[in-house]
């Protein structure tokens, strides 16, 4: 995380030196900073930083894909002439335990197909999820555990 800060600082320094704070110039500075950090990766131990960055990006791409799929599925349900819904709330046992990770998982679940996080139990062990189709909660639980939760654990541990 601190290396990310260094990365941002280097990009800011680049923007200041070139005297232009446009988005594109900052992005260019960011890429330059990544390059600089990769040159000294042996010294500052940023090897983990790059593989982590890759995992964060892969989490982000998964998220975008699921968001599009989710909007599409809602559209199909809403526009079908006979709405055949089996909504319900099911409990999801959490494996992640830090507040930050739970928040992230809950938000990701909300923006993905057919699921909406409603509440976290007081002991932070269970997440209550409302689903558009709760007829097979075990399959949904498995999807979340093998999709987002695993990716979050890979990206932030």
Partner 1 sequence: MTEILTLISALLLLIGSVFTLIAAIGLLRLPDLYTRIHAASKAGTMGSCLALIALAIHAHDFGTMSRALAGVVFFLLTAPVSSHLLAKAAYAVGYRLHSSSVRDEMAPEDDK
Name the one range near partner 1 by CB under 8 A: 34-42, 51-59, 73-81, 146-154. Answer: 73-81
By the rule CB under 8 A, 117 interacts with partner 1: yes
Q: Cβ of residue 135: shortest distance to partner 1, in angstroms?
A: 6
Shorter beta-carbon distance to partner 1: residue 50 or 134: 134
Q: Given candidates 38, 39, 107, 124, which one binds partner 1 under the rule CB under 8 A? A: 107
Q: Given candidates 6, 30, 41, 137, which one binds partner 1 under the rule CB under 8 A? A: 137
By the rule CB under 8 A, 75 interacts with partner 1: yes
Q: What is the DSSP string of the chain?
A: -HHHHHHHHHHHHHHHHHT---HHHHHHHHHHHHHHHHHTHHHHT-HHHHHHHHHHHHHHHHHHHHHHHHHHHHHHHHHSSS---B-EEEEEE----SHHHHHHHHHHHHTSTTEEEEEE-TTSSEEEEEESB-S-HHHHHHHHIIIIIHHHHHHH-
Shorter beta-carbon distance to partner 1: residue 10 or 106: 106
Q: Cβ of residue 118: shortest distance to partner 1, in angstroms?
A: 4
- Asked if 94 contacts 122 with a C-beta cutoff of 8 angstroms, the reply is no
- Asked if 138 contacts 153 with a C-beta cutoff of 8 angstroms, the reply is no
What is the rounded distance in angstroms from the CA atom of residue 157 to the CA atom of residue 147?
Answer: 16
Closest of 105, 115, 106 to residue 153, by C-alpha: 105
Q: Given candidates 94, 108, 144, 152, which one binds partner 1 under the rule CB under 8 A? A: 108
Shorter beta-carbon distance to partner 1: residue 137 or 147: 137
By the rule CB under 8 A, 23 interacts with partner 1: yes
The footprint of partner 1 on this chain (CB under 8 A) covers a number of residues equal to: 36
Q: Which residues bind partner 1 (CB under 8 A)?
A: 22-24, 67-68, 70-71, 74-75, 77-79, 83, 85-91, 106-108, 110-111, 114, 116-119, 128, 130, 132, 134-135, 137
């Amino acid at each position: 995380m601190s290396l990310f800060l260094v990365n941002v600082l280097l990009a800011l320094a680049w923007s200041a030196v070139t005297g232009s704070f446009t988005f594109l110039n900052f992005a260019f500075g960011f890429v330059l900073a990544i390059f600089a950090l990769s040159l000294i990766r042996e010294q500052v131990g940023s090897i983990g930083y790059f593989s982590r960055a890759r995992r964060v990006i892969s989490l982000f791409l998964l998220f975008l894909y699921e968001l599009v799929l989710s909007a599409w599925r809602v559209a199909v349900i809403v526009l079908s002439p006979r709405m055949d819904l089996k909504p319900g709330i099911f409990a999801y046992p959490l494996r992640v335990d830090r507040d930050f990770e739970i928040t992230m998982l809950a938000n990701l679940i909300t923006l993905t197909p057919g699921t909406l996080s409603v509440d976290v139990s007081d002991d932070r062990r269970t997440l209550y999820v409302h689903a558009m189709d709760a007829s097979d909660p075990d399959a949904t639980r498995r999807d979340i555990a093998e999709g987002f939760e695993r990716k979050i654990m890979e990206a932030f541990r």
